[in-house]
Amino acid sequence: MKDLVAAMLTPAVMINVCGLLLLSTANRNSRIIDRIRALNSQLLNGELSGEAMDNYNNQLLLFKKRAKIIKNSLILNYSALLMFILTSLTIYLAVHGFVSETFVLLFLLSGFFILAFYAGFLIWEGSIHFETTALDIELAKTMLKKKTGGKKS
């Protein structure tokens, strides 16, 4: 019985990891949505100059790309979660002789590989996030230059 409980702890910990990563990814998605809504509000209120509109048009393309990456990341996260749940189930079945221990290892390793891809997607999304930040900084510099008449502050 101790061996069964010990064997089931690894997938249980990884299920918890998937849940925590899911919260982080959902927060990233929410930030993208909030930023797009803020841009839409500014567009509707006519608060943007031509330069700002060009800048935000470039950012919206990046937000669209980021949203797709986040969607795929969420799919990977749920897939890894499923693999770890199946790992727990197959551990129980393997202990009782219903399936081979090979299935346990297959599901566990699949979950780890899927999480590795998930991490790669989040790294990719993070790099795009920094592109949008750079565009914001560039716009802020341009606007400051206009307001100060080209003087450095």
Say how far apart CA 79 and CA 89 lie, in whole Å. Answer: 15
Say how far apart CA 87 and CA 109 lie, in whole Å. Answer: 9
pLDDT at residue 2 tops 70: no
Q: What is the average pLDDT score of the chain?
A: 89
> Looking at residue 86, what is its pLDDT?
94
- pLDDT (average), residues 27-46: 88
- pLDDT (average), residues 57-84: 94
- pLDDT (average), residues 28-57: 86
Structural contact between residues 77 and 118, judged by C-beta atoms closer than 8 angstroms: yes
Residues ≥6 apart with Cβ < 8 Å to 20: none
Structural contact between residues 74 and 122, judged by C-beta atoms closer than 8 angstroms: no
Say how far apart CA 88 and CA 93 lie, in whole Å. Answer: 9
SS3 category, 45:
coil
pTM of this structure: 0.82
Residue 114: other Cβ atoms inside 10 A: 21
Residue 4 — pLDDT band, cuts 50, 70, 90?
low
